[in-house]
Amino acid sequence: MNTFRHLAVLVVASALAWRCGAEPMRAAAPSTAPIDLPTAIALALDQPAVRAASHEAAAADALVAQAERLPNPTLSYLREGQQAGLRTTTVQIDQPIELGGKRGARVALAREAAALATGEARAQRQAVRADVIAAYYAVLVAGHRFTLAQASSELARKTVDVAARRVAAGKISPIEETRARLALVDADTAQHGAAAALAIARTTLGALTGRPADSLVLADDAGRLPDAAPLASLLARIDDSAALRRARGQLAARQAQVGVERAARVPDVTLSVGTKRDDQLGKRQTVVGLSVPLPLFDRNADALRAALRRTDQAGDELAAAATATTAALTSAHTRYMTAQRAAQLLRDDVVPNAQAAYEQTLKGFEYGKFSFLDVESAQRTWYGAQLRQWDSVENAWRAYADIERLAGATATTATAQRTRN
Protein backbone atom coordinates (compact mmCIF):
# COMPACT_ATOMS: atom_id res chain seq x y z
CA MET A 1 0.00 0.00 0.00
CA ASN A 2 2.93 2.32 0.41
CA THR A 3 3.22 2.39 -3.38
CA PHE A 4 0.04 4.47 -3.64
CA ARG A 5 1.44 6.93 -1.13
CA HIS A 6 4.53 7.23 -3.30
CA LEU A 7 2.36 7.89 -6.33
CA ALA A 8 0.50 10.64 -4.51
CA VAL A 9 3.79 12.22 -3.50
CA LEU A 10 4.90 12.09 -7.15
CA VAL A 11 1.94 14.15 -8.34
CA VAL A 12 2.18 16.62 -5.46
CA ALA A 13 5.89 17.11 -6.06
CA SER A 14 5.26 17.71 -9.76
CA ALA A 15 2.66 20.39 -9.03
CA LEU A 16 4.93 22.06 -6.49
CA ALA A 17 7.77 22.08 -9.00
CA TRP A 18 5.65 24.18 -11.35
CA ARG A 19 4.69 26.55 -8.54
CA CYS A 20 8.37 27.07 -7.80
CA GLY A 21 8.99 28.20 -11.38
CA ALA A 22 10.04 25.03 -13.21
CA GLU A 23 9.71 25.26 -16.97
CA PRO A 24 8.78 22.77 -19.65
CA MET A 25 11.35 21.54 -22.13
CA ARG A 26 14.34 23.58 -20.92
CA ALA A 27 16.75 20.94 -22.19
CA ALA A 28 16.78 22.50 -25.67
CA ALA A 29 18.66 25.58 -24.45
CA PRO A 30 19.95 24.99 -20.91
CA SER A 31 22.37 27.92 -21.02
CA THR A 32 19.92 30.49 -22.34
CA ALA A 33 18.55 33.03 -19.90
CA PRO A 34 14.76 32.97 -19.55
CA ILE A 35 12.85 35.44 -21.70
CA ASP A 36 10.28 37.49 -19.83
CA LEU A 37 7.19 38.99 -21.43
CA PRO A 38 8.61 42.50 -22.09
CA THR A 39 11.61 40.93 -23.83
CA ALA A 40 9.35 38.75 -25.97
CA ILE A 41 7.29 41.80 -26.94
CA ALA A 42 10.43 43.77 -27.83
CA LEU A 43 11.66 40.91 -30.01
CA ALA A 44 8.31 40.69 -31.81
CA LEU A 45 8.18 44.44 -32.45
CA ASP A 46 11.56 44.21 -34.17
CA GLN A 47 10.38 41.66 -36.74
CA PRO A 48 10.16 42.44 -40.49
CA ALA A 49 6.36 42.56 -40.59
CA VAL A 50 6.28 45.37 -38.02
CA ARG A 51 9.18 47.23 -39.62
CA ALA A 52 7.38 47.05 -42.97
CA ALA A 53 4.49 49.06 -41.56
CA SER A 54 6.88 51.76 -40.36
CA HIS A 55 8.37 51.96 -43.87
CA GLU A 56 4.90 52.58 -45.29
CA ALA A 57 4.38 55.38 -42.78
CA ALA A 58 7.70 56.95 -43.82
CA ALA A 59 6.71 56.66 -47.47
CA ALA A 60 3.41 58.40 -46.79
CA ASP A 61 5.28 61.24 -45.05
CA ALA A 62 7.44 61.65 -48.13
CA LEU A 63 4.32 62.00 -50.28
CA VAL A 64 3.29 65.04 -48.23
CA ALA A 65 6.37 66.89 -49.48
CA GLN A 66 5.62 65.67 -52.98
CA ALA A 67 2.09 67.05 -52.80
CA GLU A 68 3.48 70.48 -51.96
CA ARG A 69 5.40 70.69 -55.24
CA LEU A 70 4.24 73.11 -57.93
CA PRO A 71 3.45 71.71 -61.39
CA ASN A 72 6.37 71.75 -63.80
CA PRO A 73 6.44 74.20 -66.73
CA THR A 74 6.45 72.97 -70.32
CA LEU A 75 9.03 74.10 -72.90
CA SER A 76 7.78 74.01 -76.48
CA TYR A 77 9.31 74.74 -79.89
CA LEU A 78 7.21 75.45 -82.97
CA ARG A 79 8.34 76.06 -86.56
CA GLU A 80 6.00 77.14 -89.34
CA GLY A 81 7.12 76.77 -92.93
CA GLN A 82 10.11 75.06 -94.52
CA GLN A 83 11.56 77.64 -96.89
CA ALA A 84 14.30 79.83 -95.49
CA GLY A 85 13.33 83.48 -95.29
CA LEU A 86 9.62 82.66 -95.11
CA ARG A 87 9.33 80.48 -92.01
CA THR A 88 8.63 81.46 -88.41
CA THR A 89 9.91 79.81 -85.22
CA THR A 90 8.39 80.11 -81.78
CA VAL A 91 9.92 79.09 -78.42
CA GLN A 92 7.72 79.39 -75.37
CA ILE A 93 7.26 78.19 -71.80
CA ASP A 94 3.82 77.14 -70.55
CA GLN A 95 3.29 77.27 -66.76
CA PRO A 96 0.10 75.77 -65.30
CA ILE A 97 -1.37 77.86 -62.48
CA GLU A 98 -3.58 75.88 -60.09
CA LEU A 99 -6.71 77.65 -58.95
CA GLY A 100 -9.48 76.78 -56.54
CA GLY A 101 -7.13 75.66 -53.75
CA LYS A 102 -6.03 72.49 -55.54
CA ARG A 103 -2.56 72.47 -54.03
CA GLY A 104 -3.83 73.01 -50.50
CA ALA A 105 -6.43 70.28 -50.92
CA ARG A 106 -3.84 67.90 -52.33
CA VAL A 107 -1.50 68.56 -49.41
CA ALA A 108 -4.33 68.06 -46.91
CA LEU A 109 -5.15 64.69 -48.48
CA ALA A 110 -1.50 63.63 -48.37
CA ARG A 111 -1.24 64.60 -44.71
CA GLU A 112 -4.33 62.61 -43.82
CA ALA A 113 -2.97 59.63 -45.74
CA ALA A 114 0.29 59.92 -43.80
CA ALA A 115 -1.58 60.12 -40.50
CA LEU A 116 -3.60 57.05 -41.51
CA ALA A 117 -0.41 55.11 -42.34
CA THR A 118 1.13 56.11 -39.02
CA GLY A 119 -2.03 54.98 -37.23
CA GLU A 120 -1.94 51.66 -39.04
CA ALA A 121 1.64 51.12 -37.94
CA ARG A 122 0.69 51.92 -34.36
CA ALA A 123 -2.32 49.61 -34.52
CA GLN A 124 -0.15 46.81 -35.87
CA ARG A 125 2.31 47.22 -33.01
CA GLN A 126 -0.56 47.10 -30.55
CA ALA A 127 -1.96 43.96 -32.20
CA VAL A 128 1.47 42.28 -32.18
CA ARG A 129 1.84 43.10 -28.50
CA ALA A 130 -1.48 41.44 -27.75
CA ASP A 131 -0.59 38.42 -29.89
CA VAL A 132 2.66 37.97 -27.97
CA ILE A 133 0.87 38.15 -24.62
CA ALA A 134 -1.55 35.42 -25.69
CA ALA A 135 1.18 33.26 -27.25
CA TYR A 136 3.60 33.69 -24.36
CA TYR A 137 1.17 32.47 -21.75
CA ALA A 138 -0.19 29.79 -24.06
CA VAL A 139 3.30 28.26 -23.99
CA LEU A 140 3.51 28.45 -20.21
CA VAL A 141 0.06 26.97 -19.65
CA ALA A 142 0.73 24.26 -22.22
CA GLY A 143 3.88 23.43 -20.26
CA HIS A 144 1.87 23.04 -17.07
CA ARG A 145 -0.60 20.79 -18.83
CA PHE A 146 2.24 18.69 -20.23
CA THR A 147 3.78 18.24 -16.78
CA LEU A 148 0.42 17.22 -15.34
CA ALA A 149 -0.05 14.75 -18.19
CA GLN A 150 3.41 13.30 -17.55
CA ALA A 151 2.65 12.87 -13.86
CA SER A 152 -0.72 11.31 -14.61
CA SER A 153 0.83 8.89 -17.11
CA GLU A 154 3.54 7.86 -14.65
CA LEU A 155 0.95 7.40 -11.95
CA ALA A 156 -1.20 5.27 -14.24
CA ARG A 157 1.82 3.16 -15.22
CA LYS A 158 2.74 2.45 -11.63
CA THR A 159 -0.90 1.77 -10.84
CA VAL A 160 -0.91 -0.97 -13.48
CA ASP A 161 2.10 -2.58 -11.77
CA VAL A 162 0.40 -2.45 -8.39
CA ALA A 163 -2.84 -3.85 -9.77
CA ALA A 164 -1.00 -6.69 -11.51
CA ARG A 165 0.72 -7.68 -8.27
CA ARG A 166 -2.54 -7.61 -6.33
CA VAL A 167 -4.24 -9.74 -8.97
CA ALA A 168 -1.39 -12.24 -8.74
CA ALA A 169 -1.86 -12.26 -4.97
CA GLY A 170 -5.58 -12.89 -5.39
CA LYS A 171 -6.59 -9.70 -3.56
CA ILE A 172 -8.49 -8.00 -6.40
CA SER A 173 -10.30 -9.08 -9.55
CA PRO A 174 -8.45 -9.16 -12.90
CA ILE A 175 -11.06 -6.66 -14.08
CA GLU A 176 -9.37 -4.05 -11.88
CA GLU A 177 -6.08 -4.62 -13.70
CA THR A 178 -7.84 -4.21 -17.05
CA ARG A 179 -9.30 -0.93 -15.89
CA ALA A 180 -5.87 0.22 -14.79
CA ARG A 181 -4.42 -0.62 -18.21
CA LEU A 182 -7.20 1.29 -19.96
CA ALA A 183 -6.51 4.24 -17.70
CA LEU A 184 -2.83 4.05 -18.73
CA VAL A 185 -3.80 4.19 -22.42
CA ASP A 186 -5.92 7.28 -21.76
CA ALA A 187 -3.10 8.90 -19.79
CA ASP A 188 -0.52 8.22 -22.50
CA THR A 189 -2.88 9.63 -25.14
CA ALA A 190 -3.40 12.75 -23.05
CA GLN A 191 0.36 13.12 -22.65
CA HIS A 192 0.96 12.93 -26.40
CA GLY A 193 -1.80 15.50 -26.97
CA ALA A 194 -0.30 17.83 -24.36
CA ALA A 195 3.15 17.48 -25.95
CA ALA A 196 1.71 18.37 -29.38
CA ALA A 197 -0.14 21.37 -27.95
CA LEU A 198 3.07 22.59 -26.29
CA ALA A 199 5.01 22.23 -29.55
CA ILE A 200 2.36 24.20 -31.46
CA ALA A 201 2.32 26.94 -28.84
CA ARG A 202 6.11 27.19 -28.97
CA THR A 203 6.05 27.39 -32.76
CA THR A 204 3.54 30.24 -32.64
CA LEU A 205 5.58 32.23 -30.13
CA GLY A 206 8.79 31.49 -32.01
CA ALA A 207 7.30 32.85 -35.22
CA LEU A 208 6.25 36.06 -33.43
CA THR A 209 9.59 36.65 -31.72
CA GLY A 210 11.87 35.39 -34.48
CA ARG A 211 13.42 32.79 -32.19
CA PRO A 212 13.70 29.03 -32.85
CA ALA A 213 10.83 27.31 -31.11
CA ASP A 214 13.02 24.68 -29.47
CA SER A 215 15.33 27.32 -27.95
CA LEU A 216 12.66 29.33 -26.15
CA VAL A 217 13.09 29.45 -22.37
CA LEU A 218 10.42 31.50 -20.65
CA ALA A 219 10.19 33.04 -17.21
CA ASP A 220 7.19 31.26 -15.75
CA ASP A 221 4.64 33.59 -14.18
CA ALA A 222 1.53 32.22 -15.85
CA GLY A 223 -0.31 31.97 -12.56
CA ARG A 224 0.21 35.64 -11.73
CA LEU A 225 -2.75 37.42 -13.29
CA PRO A 226 -2.67 41.24 -13.44
CA ASP A 227 -5.53 43.35 -12.15
CA ALA A 228 -7.51 44.63 -15.11
CA ALA A 229 -8.65 48.24 -15.00
CA PRO A 230 -12.34 48.81 -14.18
CA LEU A 231 -14.66 48.53 -17.16
CA ALA A 232 -15.75 52.17 -16.85
CA SER A 233 -12.10 53.25 -17.12
CA LEU A 234 -11.58 51.09 -20.19
CA LEU A 235 -14.69 52.40 -21.91
CA ALA A 236 -13.59 55.97 -21.19
CA ARG A 237 -10.54 55.29 -23.37
CA ILE A 238 -12.53 53.81 -26.24
CA ASP A 239 -11.84 56.82 -28.46
CA ASP A 240 -8.13 55.98 -28.37
CA SER A 241 -8.64 52.38 -29.43
CA ALA A 242 -6.97 51.15 -32.61
CA ALA A 243 -10.27 50.48 -34.37
CA LEU A 244 -11.63 53.98 -33.74
CA ARG A 245 -8.35 55.67 -34.61
CA ARG A 246 -8.37 53.79 -37.90
CA ALA A 247 -12.01 54.71 -38.59
CA ARG A 248 -11.39 58.37 -37.76
CA GLY A 249 -8.36 58.37 -40.02
CA GLN A 250 -10.43 56.93 -42.85
CA LEU A 251 -13.09 59.59 -42.31
CA ALA A 252 -10.52 62.40 -42.32
CA ALA A 253 -8.96 61.05 -45.52
CA ARG A 254 -12.36 60.83 -47.22
CA GLN A 255 -13.15 64.39 -46.18
CA ALA A 256 -9.82 65.54 -47.61
CA GLN A 257 -10.67 63.73 -50.84
CA VAL A 258 -13.88 65.73 -51.01
CA GLY A 259 -11.76 68.89 -50.86
CA VAL A 260 -9.62 67.61 -53.72
CA GLU A 261 -12.63 66.83 -55.89
CA ARG A 262 -14.29 70.14 -55.11
CA ALA A 263 -11.15 72.05 -56.01
CA ALA A 264 -10.88 70.07 -59.26
CA ARG A 265 -14.12 71.73 -60.43
CA VAL A 266 -12.30 75.05 -60.80
CA PRO A 267 -10.42 75.18 -64.16
CA ASP A 268 -6.69 75.82 -64.05
CA VAL A 269 -5.03 78.57 -66.07
CA THR A 270 -1.97 78.01 -68.21
CA LEU A 271 0.30 81.03 -68.71
CA SER A 272 2.46 81.01 -71.85
CA VAL A 273 5.49 83.24 -72.34
CA GLY A 274 7.92 83.02 -75.27
CA THR A 275 9.44 84.54 -78.35
CA LYS A 276 8.61 84.29 -82.05
CA ARG A 277 10.98 85.00 -84.92
CA ASP A 278 9.56 85.93 -88.32
CA ASP A 279 12.15 85.53 -91.11
CA GLN A 280 10.19 87.83 -93.46
CA LEU A 281 10.21 90.66 -90.93
CA GLY A 282 13.70 89.80 -89.72
CA LYS A 283 12.89 90.40 -86.08
CA ARG A 284 11.59 88.68 -82.94
CA GLN A 285 8.28 89.23 -81.22
CA THR A 286 7.27 88.50 -77.66
CA VAL A 287 4.55 85.88 -77.23
CA VAL A 288 2.25 85.98 -74.20
CA GLY A 289 -0.77 83.75 -73.88
CA LEU A 290 -3.34 82.56 -71.41
CA SER A 291 -5.42 79.41 -71.82
CA VAL A 292 -8.36 78.21 -69.75
CA PRO A 293 -10.25 74.92 -70.30
CA LEU A 294 -13.98 75.31 -70.79
CA PRO A 295 -15.93 73.06 -68.36
CA LEU A 296 -18.67 72.30 -70.86
CA PHE A 297 -18.78 68.48 -70.60
CA ASP A 298 -16.86 67.57 -67.45
CA ARG A 299 -17.37 69.59 -64.29
CA ASN A 300 -16.16 66.79 -61.98
CA ALA A 301 -19.63 66.65 -60.43
CA ASP A 302 -19.81 62.86 -60.39
CA ALA A 303 -16.39 62.47 -58.75
CA LEU A 304 -17.43 64.98 -56.08
CA ARG A 305 -20.68 63.15 -55.48
CA ALA A 306 -18.81 59.84 -55.13
CA ALA A 307 -16.39 61.41 -52.64
CA LEU A 308 -19.30 62.75 -50.58
CA ARG A 309 -20.96 59.34 -50.47
CA ARG A 310 -17.70 57.71 -49.40
CA THR A 311 -17.43 60.31 -46.65
CA ASP A 312 -20.90 59.31 -45.46
CA GLN A 313 -19.78 55.70 -45.56
CA ALA A 314 -16.72 56.47 -43.45
CA GLY A 315 -18.89 58.29 -40.91
CA ASP A 316 -21.17 55.28 -40.56
CA GLU A 317 -18.16 52.99 -40.29
CA LEU A 318 -16.83 55.13 -37.45
CA ALA A 319 -20.11 54.83 -35.56
CA ALA A 320 -20.18 51.07 -36.20
CA ALA A 321 -16.58 50.72 -35.00
CA ALA A 322 -17.44 52.54 -31.77
CA THR A 323 -20.35 50.18 -31.12
CA ALA A 324 -18.38 47.04 -32.00
CA THR A 325 -15.36 48.05 -29.94
CA THR A 326 -17.50 48.87 -26.93
CA ALA A 327 -19.20 45.48 -27.12
CA ALA A 328 -15.92 43.60 -27.67
CA LEU A 329 -14.17 45.39 -24.83
CA THR A 330 -17.07 44.75 -22.47
CA SER A 331 -17.05 41.08 -23.44
CA ALA A 332 -13.28 40.76 -22.98
CA HIS A 333 -13.42 42.41 -19.55
CA THR A 334 -16.26 40.12 -18.48
CA ARG A 335 -14.40 37.04 -19.70
CA TYR A 336 -11.28 38.12 -17.88
CA MET A 337 -13.00 38.74 -14.56
CA THR A 338 -14.89 35.43 -14.83
CA ALA A 339 -11.76 33.44 -15.64
CA GLN A 340 -9.75 35.19 -12.94
CA ARG A 341 -12.33 34.34 -10.27
CA ALA A 342 -12.59 30.76 -11.53
CA ALA A 343 -8.80 30.30 -11.42
CA GLN A 344 -8.67 31.67 -7.89
CA LEU A 345 -11.53 29.43 -6.72
CA LEU A 346 -9.95 26.35 -8.27
CA ARG A 347 -6.55 27.15 -6.79
CA ASP A 348 -7.77 27.95 -3.29
CA ASP A 349 -10.67 25.51 -2.92
CA VAL A 350 -11.34 22.91 -5.60
CA VAL A 351 -7.80 21.60 -6.19
CA PRO A 352 -6.88 21.30 -2.47
CA ASN A 353 -10.18 19.56 -1.74
CA ALA A 354 -9.75 17.19 -4.67
CA GLN A 355 -6.25 16.37 -3.46
CA ALA A 356 -7.52 15.71 0.06
CA ALA A 357 -10.29 13.47 -1.28
CA TYR A 358 -7.77 11.50 -3.30
CA GLU A 359 -5.49 11.00 -0.32
CA GLN A 360 -8.41 9.91 1.89
CA THR A 361 -9.66 7.50 -0.76
CA LEU A 362 -6.17 6.08 -1.13
CA LYS A 363 -5.91 5.56 2.62
CA GLY A 364 -9.36 3.93 2.74
CA PHE A 365 -8.35 1.63 -0.12
CA GLU A 366 -5.42 0.44 1.95
CA TYR A 367 -7.86 -0.65 4.66
CA GLY A 368 -10.30 -2.19 2.21
CA LYS A 369 -12.98 0.51 2.53
CA PHE A 370 -12.81 1.60 -1.10
CA SER A 371 -12.29 -0.18 -4.39
CA PHE A 372 -9.60 0.52 -6.91
CA LEU A 373 -12.22 2.21 -9.07
CA ASP A 374 -12.82 4.71 -6.27
CA VAL A 375 -9.09 5.48 -6.10
CA GLU A 376 -8.92 5.94 -9.86
CA SER A 377 -11.96 8.22 -9.85
CA ALA A 378 -10.52 10.37 -7.07
CA GLN A 379 -7.20 10.63 -8.89
CA ARG A 380 -8.94 11.66 -12.12
CA THR A 381 -10.94 14.28 -10.24
CA TRP A 382 -7.76 15.76 -8.78
CA TYR A 383 -6.04 15.75 -12.15
CA GLY A 384 -9.09 17.25 -13.85
CA ALA A 385 -9.33 20.03 -11.26
CA GLN A 386 -5.73 21.04 -11.95
CA LEU A 387 -6.41 21.05 -15.69
CA ARG A 388 -9.47 23.22 -15.16
CA GLN A 389 -7.38 25.63 -13.12
CA TRP A 390 -4.89 26.04 -15.96
CA ASP A 391 -7.72 26.29 -18.48
CA SER A 392 -9.09 29.21 -16.48
CA VAL A 393 -5.64 30.82 -16.31
CA GLU A 394 -5.24 30.52 -20.08
CA ASN A 395 -8.73 31.92 -20.68
CA ALA A 396 -7.87 34.85 -18.42
CA TRP A 397 -4.68 35.61 -20.33
CA ARG A 398 -6.46 35.40 -23.66
CA ALA A 399 -9.10 37.85 -22.45
CA TYR A 400 -6.35 40.09 -21.07
CA ALA A 401 -4.65 40.07 -24.46
CA ASP A 402 -7.95 41.06 -26.09
CA ILE A 403 -8.25 43.97 -23.67
CA GLU A 404 -4.74 45.07 -24.60
CA ARG A 405 -5.59 44.75 -28.29
CA LEU A 406 -8.78 46.79 -27.96
CA ALA A 407 -7.89 49.43 -25.39
CA GLY A 408 -4.11 49.68 -25.65
CA ALA A 409 -1.14 48.97 -23.43
CA THR A 410 -2.01 51.69 -20.92
CA ALA A 411 -5.51 50.36 -20.38
CA THR A 412 -4.52 47.96 -17.61
CA THR A 413 -2.77 48.55 -14.35
CA ALA A 414 0.93 47.99 -13.99
CA THR A 415 1.87 44.36 -14.20
CA ALA A 416 3.70 44.71 -10.91
CA GLN A 417 0.30 44.86 -9.19
CA ARG A 418 -0.75 41.27 -9.52
CA THR A 419 -2.95 38.72 -7.87
CA ARG A 420 -1.57 35.20 -7.68
CA ASN A 421 -3.95 32.71 -9.27
Helices (H), 169-239: 174-209, 231-236
- Region 341-362: what's the mean pLDDT? 91
Q: What is the spatial distance between Cα 243 and Cα 321, in angstroms, rounded to a whole number?
A: 6
Question: Over the stretch 74-124, which tens digit does the pLDDT of each residue have?
Answer: 999 998 877 777 788 999 999 999 999 999 999 999 999 999 999 999 999
Cα 410 to Cα 35, 126, 229, 264, 391, distances in angstroms: 22, 11, 10, 43, 26
**Each residue of 251-267: b (16+ CB within 10 Å) or e?**
bbbbbbbbbbbbbbeee
| Residue pLDDT, tens place only, 133-178 | 999 999 999 999 999 999 888 877 877 787 787 778 777 677 877 8
Reported as a single tens digit per residue, the pLDDT across 373-416 is 787 788 889 889 999 999 999 999 999 999 999 986 544 433 43
In this predicted structure, what is the pLDDT of residue 364? 81
Listed residue (263, 276, 396, 404) closest to 336, CA to CA: 396
Q: Where are the alpha helices (DSSP H) in 20-101?
A: 37-45, 48-67
The span from the CA of 197 to the CA of 384, in Å, is 17
279-294 burial, b if ≥16 CB within 10 A, otherwise e? Answer: eeeeeeeeeeeeeeee
pTM value is: 0.77
Burial of 301 (0-12, 13-18, 19+ CB in 10 A): exposed
Q: How many of the other CB atoms lie within 10 Å of CB of 322? A: 17
What is the C-alpha separation between 309 and 373, in angstroms, rounded?
71
Q: Are 101 and 238 in contact (CB under 8 A)?
A: no
| 3-state secondary structure at position 88 | strand
Are the CB atoms for 76 and 91 separated by under 8 Å?
yes
Q: How far apart are CA 399 and CA 352, in angstroms?
A: 26
In angstroms, the CA 275 to CA 279 distance is: 13
Question: What is the pLDDT, as a whole number, of residue 4?
Answer: 42
DSSP symbol at 304: H
